[in-house]
Chains A and B, each alone.
Chain A
Amino acid sequence: RKEVEQDPGPFNVPEGATVAFNCTYSNSASQSFFWYRQDCRKEPKLLMSVYSSGNEDGRFTAQLNRASQYISLLIRDSKLSDSATYLCVVNWPGGYNKLIFGAGTRLAVHP
């Protein structure tokens, strides 16, 4: 089983649509979870951390299910500028608490 697994997409949606991304992780000891956004040929940028209680930031909602080792990201009212690759990221407990990145889910929002 991969350390962090995501549906690669692409998800092609019209503006205004709601889209959901899923992610599963293999290490039950992981404690920190994030969604990063990466635009083409650019570095990843932190979108939001994911907390056990779920959290919302504007149009973005992240959920965590520790029992199922599952993380989700919901984007409401999609904008053209949301087109990017969304990376699910999980920490790997150990000496330096490294982060493990999923392969990313590509989102393309069209007019």
Chain B
Amino acid sequence: GAVVSQHPSRVICKSGTSVKIECRSLDFQATTMFWYRQFPKKSLMLMATSNEGSKATYEQGVEKDKFLINHASLTLSTLTVTSAHPEDSSFYICSASGRDWSSDEQYFGPGTRLTVT
């Protein structure tokens, strides 16, 4: 159980375009989903936390107008990178936490590698 999928796994886009990444919990209802980014040889940095049906909470320094997050249902959250720039190239990973889970465990999607040219 606790499977999280992410799509696409890899995307290359041109500067100025927008890219949408989907995160789905496949076998559980995810009340909370988290979006991280990871640069090479660095740790995961939390970008934002989203709860189903409410606005995302962004970490300090993360532009909410650039990284649009929508958590429309208990199994789906999307991250849209708007007007992408080469410095947005990174590994984006989502995670999900389930309803009624007693601990803070999060299960991660396989990640999306974004390259902006």
Contacts and interface: CB of A to CB of B under 8 A. Distances in A.
Interface of A: 31-32, 34, 41-46, 49, 87, 91, 95-104
A101 B113 CA distance: 19
B106 A104 contact: no
Interface residues of B, number: 22
B104 A43 contact: no
20 contacts: A31-B104, A32-B104, A32-B105, A34-B105, A42-B110, A42-B111, A43-B108, A43-B109, A44-B44, A44-B93, A44-B108, A46-B105, A87-B44, A96-B51, A97-B104, A98-B34, A99-B46, A99-B106, A102-B43, A104-B43
A83 to B, nearest CB: 16
B57 interface: yes
